[in-house]
Amino acid sequence: MARAGWSKLIPTESWPQGATAFRIDAYSEFMPPPRVGWRPYGPVRVNPNLFSPDDPFGWKVHEFDEALELQPGLHQIAKDLMIRLKRLQDGNPDTGLPRHISQNNPYYPPELASADLQNDRCVLLLPLALSRTQDDKGRVRWTLFGNSEQGPGKAFWRSFFTAPGVEAPPEFGIGFFCRLLHAVYGEKAADADGLHRAGLRIVPEDQPDFPFWSEGELPSWATQFLVRDDEPSDVVKYVVTFRQFGRLPAPVRERYLSGRLALLPFPGSLVFWGVERARLVYQQLPLALQIPLLANVDRHESPIGIRVPQAGVLHQPTAEQPTYTSAAGHLRNTYKRTHRWEKILRDQDQVELVGKEASLVNVLFSIIPDDLGLYGKPMARNVQIWTRRPEVLLDGPHASPADIKRAMRTIQAGGVFGYRFFFPAMRVGKHEVYWHRPLVAYQAHLANEIWNESVPGWNKRQKRGGLQRSRRSPHGAAIPEVAPFLQLAGHVRVPSDPRRTIYNTDGQIFSDAGVPCVLFMENYDINRTGYHDTHDTMENIDLDYGAAVCAITIEAVARAAHSKDSPL
């Protein structure tokens, strides 16, 4: 019987054979991939906790992984991307995405780049490439490799199938879009007919840039939502499509640019699949199409959340280019190196606790004892580097000592290079395995995110640089000292949220009467001293914290006031 599904990944009995058939790489060379599902030695080679014979296309994900890594990790990634894409949406690519990402990009043509997109709700339906990797403590972690190299739409539409040719129940996909339109636009569709009346339509990709980007056949329930030429354009209000903007039907483009139609996902979010430099590097590195999104997410090593390896731009000064500036924040010339003998608990973030900032060039190539310390190691075998032309300079996991020396000499000569740390993905036998999981997000507490993104830069300015956290005023007449701005953790709680707190406030009477009302408040302790009592005085007010709350409130109200009422 022909093997199917995960069983095709399991090696035959003839592999491995011989004393040298299965190589075990030393940790001193580079961090190897975790081996899952099957092991070459031992009495039980196939892991029943991962693979089940009665589900040949299933891959079991533990509920702890979902709760502790994947869900918080997807939220963390969405926040980073939303900030950058929102600034792209605001018409300021220099502070959101690197200029080379949005320039000459078929997914972000001049027609789109020059338009006013402020009222787009910035819905993301981004397929991510995830896998499990091993860190230097031996912890096996879900890890972000970037945007799916399988294209912008394939993984999204495949997520409505449970196996090749086997659809999930129709209510799964229909329910998803009902919830999405309700959360983002307030629509109250409850079934397929309701979605159709609300104006939901689909434009599939018919000319993928690569053959392996083909979306395949859509689930059968989706065919009723396909855009028809004989349908009045004004009944179409939401279009789900992963096509390049310039290849969309002219009425769809015109109505979107005039604010009369919403595109799902936000077309600017598809720029990661149109980066010319990544496509050129892909000719030498098969997974290089993942890189654009990874470079726009901050490094994350905490066991809570998804691991995000560092990626960005390395600048080695030359006489012709002594400095390099990147308003988008992608210049990352340093790296916090960690090692396996650091004394931390299993659930602690090693980078936050013990990681020390060091020159990236030294981290990659230096064998000087003062650079390595007792337990450090050169990390060149866990990195991929390319030039600005672009040409691959180093593919660390497959590099020889000669390749590493050649790359080191090139970098020491100076220039600007792109890179990503690359920790090998989990393997079943000889096969690397990736999970292409869609990230779904939309614009919410944006004012808070913009504030937090801006705080580090503000605090480096001369007036606040190097200052310590402020102290409370001793009395009402004392002018507070200048202090660094604070970053805050914000949450949006809609009327249906049981944790909402507009009740028992002055806003309740307006809300009950139907007046749109938003309450901005801190997460306070109602039993604390100084809350609605005689100690509620200036000396008990945290002014820099209050300034942050006020700034976020002003930004949010201003955005709401200037946002046109949605015609949808």
The per-residue pLDDT for 449 is 64
- Alpha carbons within 13 A on the beta-carbon side of 166: 8
The per-residue pLDDT for 565 is 44
The per-residue pLDDT for 503 is 66
pLDDT band at 566 (very low <50, low <70, confident <90, very high): very low
Is residue 156 within 8 Å of residue 54, measured between CB atoms? Answer: no
Mean pLDDT of all residues in 75-102: 74
The per-residue pLDDT for 528 is 64
Range scoring the smallest mean pLDDT among 22-36, 290-304, 359-373, 400-414: 22-36
Most confident residue range from 13-27, 115-129, 389-403, 547-561: 389-403
The per-residue pLDDT for 334 is 93
Mean pLDDT of all residues in 2-14: 79
The per-residue pLDDT for 236 is 93
The per-residue pLDDT for 20 is 62
pTM across the whole model: 0.80
pLDDT band at 511 (very low <50, low <70, confident <90, very high): confident
The DSSP-derived string for 434-483 is -EEEEEEE---SHHHHHHHHHHHHHHTSTTTTTPPPP---SSTTSPPPP-
Q: What is the pLDDT of residues 466-502, one digit of tens each?
A: 777 766 666 666 766 777 877 776 666 656 555 566 7
Tell me which of 332 and 346 has the higher pLDDT.
332
Tell me which of 540 and 180 has the higher pLDDT.
180
- Report whether pLDDT(554) > 90: no
pLDDT band at 319 (very low <50, low <70, confident <90, very high): confident
d(CA 448, CA 489): 8
Pull the structure tokens for residue 540: 């008990």
pLDDT band at 159 (very low <50, low <70, confident <90, very high): very high
- Report whether pLDDT(1) > 50: no
Tell me which of 342 and 55 has the higher pLDDT.
55
- Report whether pLDDT(380) > 90: yes
Mean pLDDT of all residues in 58-81: 91
The per-residue pLDDT for 377 is 85
Tell me which of 210 and 561 has the higher pLDDT.
210
The per-residue pLDDT for 89 is 72
The per-residue pLDDT for 19 is 63
Percentage of residues in the chain having pLDDT higher than 70: 85
Q: How many CB atoms lie within 10 A of CB 436?
A: 19
The per-residue pLDDT for 475 is 66
- Report whether pLDDT(457) > 70: yes
Range scoring the smallest mean pLDDT among 99-113, 403-417, 492-506, 542-556: 492-506
Helix (H) or strand (E) holding 202: strand 200-203
Percentage of residues in the chain having pLDDT higher than 90: 47
Helix (H) or strand (E) holding 387: strand 383-387
d(CA 200, CA 202): 7
The per-residue pLDDT for 492 is 66
d(CA 418, CA 388): 7
Q: What is the pLDDT of residues 15-41, one digit of tens each?
A: 666 666 677 766 666 778 888 998 877
- Report whether pLDDT(6) > 80: yes
Tell me which of 270 and 468 has the higher pLDDT.
270
Cα–Cα–Cα angle for 416, 421, 427, rounded to 5 degrees? 145
- Report whether pLDDT(223) > 60: yes
- Report whether pLDDT(243) > 70: yes
What integer best gives the mean pLDDT of the chain? 84
Tell me which of 319 and 201 has the higher pLDDT.
201
Tell me which of 370 and 359 has the higher pLDDT.
359
Is residue 270 within 8 Å of residue 107, measured between CB atoms? Answer: yes
The per-residue pLDDT for 308 is 97
